[in-house]
């Protein structure tokens, strides 16, 4: 049985309303209503659940890194802590400074949050129909929409009529504009190799080999620039509370402050989701093994569970070998088997229902989200001069070099991109070996 699409349902409802009011079929309103409903579905079924889970996991992972338990009192193992915080924000008084530019002050949080929602319109979550709109210029759409966030941060700081908020907004804009350039240069690699700007087309082009292999340098540039774009440690200078009293949002309270918070975490997940789509093969479970796509649902689900278990199992072994287990981390690992078992069951059910491609894409994104949390609990904040100098003196030249090598390879067939990324991987391996040997030498003095 063929189920009606959202467009069919909206067209039928508008035709019924138009007939009842004598306004005709109202067919011209169908695209607008469908777009609004798509946005609401994305907000309710993607943004809110993802942000809620990510915030709770961030607190748990940070607690694990710092040898403590994290939230424990609100619900079982603290799972309702984020919901309690949201209820608290809804009940807080909405204060607007008397000298603020009221209209601009009110619209600024939406200029930060709404682009975070609009980005999900063109991102393919899985194979088939798990994408709202597969634009043939999807990557151009992403870069255009993501640039709106800088406008929201500037207007938030300027409209508050607060010198510290204004300084925070200007510094935020400088950071976002500076790191947009290397991130855009890194994003040019996948479409050059795939021959299309469609995100779904880029994923399909990675069936034989993920683009992170020939584009390791581009992937690293994108990930570092993405950290700066979402103001994540060590680049969280827009919210350097020790210097600017929380930065651009210092005058905001209640749910308007919550919208900035939601936008930041939603953008963080978007960076990881885009990395999994553009560089890590999207819904392709393993590179070079296209047979995985043709596996029965339960077998594909088991394969996904095994890959996920190997990833976090290696982290557990590394922690046990080099950091040791305290009472807090031991408790985390013991009780972590319960949600892990639930997750494994969800993956198997998704495989049986045909949703395994969505699970694989989100699984890769969640691994990168864990890396973000790891960095947040490990690295210190950099100075503003180090932040800007790293963008313009390191990432931009490397991004230009990577793009020129790929463009020359695409035009002539000479493997200049492969050579550059091979040299980069060799240097990275030598750096890791040198750092490990130095660490071993210091530990045995």
Reported as a single tens digit per residue, the pLDDT across 386-412 is 888 898 999 999 999 988 888 888 888
Q: Based on the structure, what is the number of domains in the chain?
A: 3
Q: Which domain holds residue 276?
A: 92-284+382-410
From residue 294, alpha-carbon distances to 25, 300, 305, 308 in Å are: 43, 9, 17, 20
- Residue 190's nearest CA partner among 279, 110, 92, 269 is 279
Vertex 297 angle, CA 295 and 300, to 5°: 60
Q: Tell whether 390 and 307 lie within a shared domain.
A: no
* Cβ atoms of residues 105 and 161 within 8 Å: no
Please check whether residues 327 and 242 belong to one and the same domain. no
Say whether both 186 and 124 belong to one domain. yes
Q: Are both 197 and 305 inside the same structural domain?
A: no
Note whether 171 and 298 are same-domain residues.
no
219 with 306, same domain: the answer is no
In a domain, 53, yes or no: no
- How far apart are the C-alpha atoms of 120 and 77, rounded to whole Å? 30
Q: Do 182 and 395 touch, CB atoms closer than 8 A?
A: yes
Q: How many other CB atoms are found less than 10 A from the CB of residue 288?
A: 13
Roughly how many angstroms between the first and final C-alpha of the chain, as a whole number? 72
Say which residue, 4 or 369, is predicted with more confidence: 369
- Whether the bond into 66 is cis, omega within 30 of 0: no
Residues shown for the chain: 445
Mean pLDDT of 324-334: 55
Domain membership of residue 392 (yes or no) is: yes
Is the distance from CB of 116 to CB of 263 less than 8 angstroms?
yes
Using DSSP, state whether 129 is helix, strand or coil.
coil
Q: What is the mean pLDDT of the chain?
A: 78
Average pLDDT over every residue of 135-159 = 86
Picking from 137, 195, 192, 196, the residue whose alpha carbon sits closest to that of residue 402 is 192
Same domain membership, residue 270 and residue 202: yes
Asked if 400 and 353 sit in the same domain, the reply is no
> What percentage of residues in the chain have a pLDDT greater than 70?
76
Q: Give the pLDDT confidence score for residue 84 in this predicted structure.
A: 85
pLDDT-derived band at 39, boundaries 50, 70, 90: low
* Tokens describing residue 183: 């991130």
Same-domain pairing of 133 and 212: yes
Q: Report the pLDDT averaged over residues 240-259.
A: 74
Q: Specify if 83 maps to a domain.
A: no
Give the residue carrying structure tokens 């479409």. 191
Task: Give the model's pLDDT for residue 165.
Answer: 83
State the pLDDT confidence band at 1, using cuts at 50, 70 and 90: very low
Structural domain includes residue 84: no
Same structural domain, 371 and 406: no
Mean pLDDT, residues 138-156: 86
Alpha-helical segments (H) within 43-188: 48-65, 81-91, 102-118, 138-146, 148-159, 163-187
Around 438, how many Cα atoms within 13 Å sit in the side-chain half-sphere?
6
Rounded to the nearest angstrom, the gap between the alpha carbon of residue 412 and the centroid of all alpha carbons in its chain is: 35
Greatest CA separation for the chain: 88
In a domain, 44, yes or no: no
Q: Residues of the chain with pLDDT > 90: what percent?
A: 5
Cα 301 from Cα 297, distance rounded (Å): 6
Q: Please tell me the distance from the alpha carbon of residue 194 to that of residue 32, in angstroms, as a whole number.
A: 32
In whole angstroms, how far apart are CA 221 and each of 177, 183, 195? Answer: 15, 7, 21
Question: Is there a contact between 205 and 193 (Cβ–Cβ < 8 Å)?
Answer: yes
120 alpha-carbon distance from chain centroid: 10
Is residue 434 assigned to a domain?
no
- 202 and 327 part of one domain: no
- Is residue 236 included in any domain, yes or no? yes
- Mutual orientation of helices 102-118 and 30-42 as an angle, nearest 10°? 90
> Is 70 a domain residue?
no
Tokens standing for residue 407: 């463009």
Residue 309 near residue 348, CB atoms below 8 Å? no
Quick count: other Cβ atoms within 10 Å of Cβ 147?
A: 15
Give the pLDDT mean for 348-377: 77
Q: Are residues 142 and 238 in the same domain?
A: yes
């Amino acid at each position: 049985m063929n189920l009606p699409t959202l467009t069919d349902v909206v067209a039928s409802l508008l035709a019924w309303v138009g007939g009842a009011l004598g306004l005709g079929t109202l067919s011209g309103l169908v695209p607008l209503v469908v777009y609004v409903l798509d946005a609401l579905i994305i907000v309710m079924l993607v943004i809110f659940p993802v942000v809620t889970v990510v915030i709770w996991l961030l607190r748990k992972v940070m607690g694990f890194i710092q040898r403590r338990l994290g939230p424990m009192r609100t619900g079982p193992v603290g799972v309702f802590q984020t919901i309690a915080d949201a209820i608290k924000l809804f009940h807080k008084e909405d204060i607007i400074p008397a000298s603020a530019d009221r209209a601009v002050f009110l619209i600024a949080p939406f200029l930060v949050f709404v682009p975070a929602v609009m980005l999900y319109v063109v991102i393919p979550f899985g194979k088939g129909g798990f994408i709202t709109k597969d634009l043939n210029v999807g990557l151009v759409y992403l870069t255009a929409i993501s640039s709106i966030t800088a406008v929201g941060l500037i207007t938030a700081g300027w409209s508050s009529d607060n010198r510290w908020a204004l300084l925070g907004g200007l510094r935020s804009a400088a950071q976002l504009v500076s790191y947009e350039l290397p991130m855009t240069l890194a994003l040019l690699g996948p479409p050059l190799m795939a021959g299309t700007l469609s995100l779904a087309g880029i994923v399909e082009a990675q069936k034989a080999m993920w683009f992170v292999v020939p584009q390791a340098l581009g992937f690293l540039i994108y990930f570092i620039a993405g950290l700066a774009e979402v103001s994540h440690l060590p680049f969280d200078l827009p919210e350097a509370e020790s210097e600017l009293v929380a930065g651009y949002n210092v005058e905001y309270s209640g749910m308007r402050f919550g919208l900035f918070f939601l936008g930041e975490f939603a953008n963080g997940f978007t960076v990881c989701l885009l990395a999994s789509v553009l560089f890590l093969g999207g819904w392709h479970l393993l590179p070079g093994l296209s047979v995985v796509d043709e596996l029965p649902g339960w077998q594909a689900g088991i394969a996904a569970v095994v890959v996920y278990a190997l990833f976090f199992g290696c982290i557990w072994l590394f922690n046990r070998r080099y950091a040791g287990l305290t009472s807090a981390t031991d408790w985390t690992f013991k009780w972590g088997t319960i949600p892990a078992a639930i997750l494994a069951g969800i993956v198997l059910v998704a495989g049986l229902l045909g949703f395994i491609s969505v699970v694989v894409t989100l699984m890769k994104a969640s691994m990168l989200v864990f890396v973000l949390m790891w960095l947040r609990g490990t690295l210190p904040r950099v100075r503003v001069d180090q932040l800007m100098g790293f963008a313009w003196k390191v990432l931009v030249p490397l991004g230009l070099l990577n793009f020129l090598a790929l463009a020359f390879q695409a035009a002539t067939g000479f493997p200049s991109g492969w050579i550059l990324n091979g040299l980069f991987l060799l240097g990275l391996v030598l750096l890791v070996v040198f750092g490990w040997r130095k660490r071993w030498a210091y530990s045995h003095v």
